[in-house]
């Protein structure tokens, strides 16, 4: 069982850069997408159904903004769109699909880089989302939360922790939330198997950051700790370029 999470920064743009060929080559069972930036009628869904995927979309109410999706080789038992918060649901930030062995969420956390108002909204989202996941785990005890969290957890996750100590995405309060998240029964599936530095999932388009690997690891695949025995692989797919982010993956195996 292979799951990929990818902030594509525009699904149509990513397709024009070879995204469907990437999916065909990597052959994941489930793909979680963030920032699709398209309404359903603007997406050529046949590109993905032709590869054997069922497609579940949650665009933002604002055209060309945000939006998440889940593609799966097996049909979901059920799909939940949104988390019951008017603003975050309008922005198309959370989509859940339930399968026999686990439930998976594709999430796109708000960014606070545009100023204090959006930073405050980001903190509101963090609090609301944490409570939401606590509630969901009572009903769905095996949960995988894939997405762009827009937070670097530790200094190892950012190329320059000193100069970015006051930057949104690496603020003490944001990092403290990540501490709480990973202390509340959630696993960082990448760090489980990859403890070494210099692994990033996002690079600024400016200053040739990607070629110099001046990046941030802000994309995560978290899993409830009861899935730990099933996790057999994880990594970052940084050799493919379809976005300012790159994809991440986790591999799981199940006998039940």
CA dihedral (104, 110, 111, 112) positive or negative: negative
Q: Is 148 a catalytic residue?
A: yes
The helix (run of H) or strand (run of E) holding residue 175 is: helix 172-182
* Sign, CA torsion 38/40/43/47: positive
Considering 27, 98, 127, 148, which one is annotated as catalytic?
148
Nearest of 153, 164, 167 to residue 197 by alpha carbon: 153
User: What angle is formed at CA 107 by the lines to CA 10 and CA 245, rounded to 5 degrees?
Assistant: 45
Of the candidates 35, 6, 65, 13, which has an alpha carbon nearest to the alpha carbon of residue 201? 6
Q: Which residues contact 61 (CB under 8 A, 6 or more apart)?
A: 90, 91, 92
Which candidate, 238, 156, 154, places its Cα nearest to that of 197? 156
Contact call for residues 214 and 207 (beta carbons, < 8 A): yes
The residues annotated as belonging to the active site are 148
């Amino acid at each position: 069982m292979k799951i990929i999470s990818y902030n594509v920064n525009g699904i149509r743009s990513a397709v024009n850069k070879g995204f469907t060929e990437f999916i065909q080559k990597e052959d994941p069972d489930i793909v979680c997408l963030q920032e699709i930036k398209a309404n359903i009628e603007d997406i050529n869904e046949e590109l993905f159904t032709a590869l054997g995927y069922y497609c579940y979309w949650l665009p933002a109410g604002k055209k060309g903004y945000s939006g998440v999706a889940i593609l799966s080789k097996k049909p979901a038992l059920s799909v939940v769109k949104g988390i019951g918060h008017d603003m975050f649901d309008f922005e198309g930030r959370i989509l859940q699909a339930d399968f026999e062995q686990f439930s998976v969420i594709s999430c796109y956390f708000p960014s606070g880089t545009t100023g204090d108002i959006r930073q405050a909204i980001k903190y509101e989202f963090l609090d609301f989302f944490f409570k939401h996941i606590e509630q969901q785990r009572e009903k769905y005890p095996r949960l995988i939360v894939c997405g762009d969290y827009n937070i670097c957890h530790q200094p190892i996750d950012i190329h320059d922790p000193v100069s970015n100590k006051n930057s949104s995405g690496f603020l003490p309060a944001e990092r403290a939330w990540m501490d709480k998240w990973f202390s509340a029964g959630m696993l960082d599936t990448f760090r489980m198997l990859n403890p070494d530095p210099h692994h990033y999932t996002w690079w600024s388009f400016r200053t040739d950051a990607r070629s110099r690997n001046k990046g941030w690891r802000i994309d995560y695949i978290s899993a409830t700790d009861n899935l730990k025995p099933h996790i057999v692989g994880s990594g970052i797919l940084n050799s493919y370029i379809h976005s300012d982010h790159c994809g991440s993956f986790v591999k799981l195996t199940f006998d039940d």
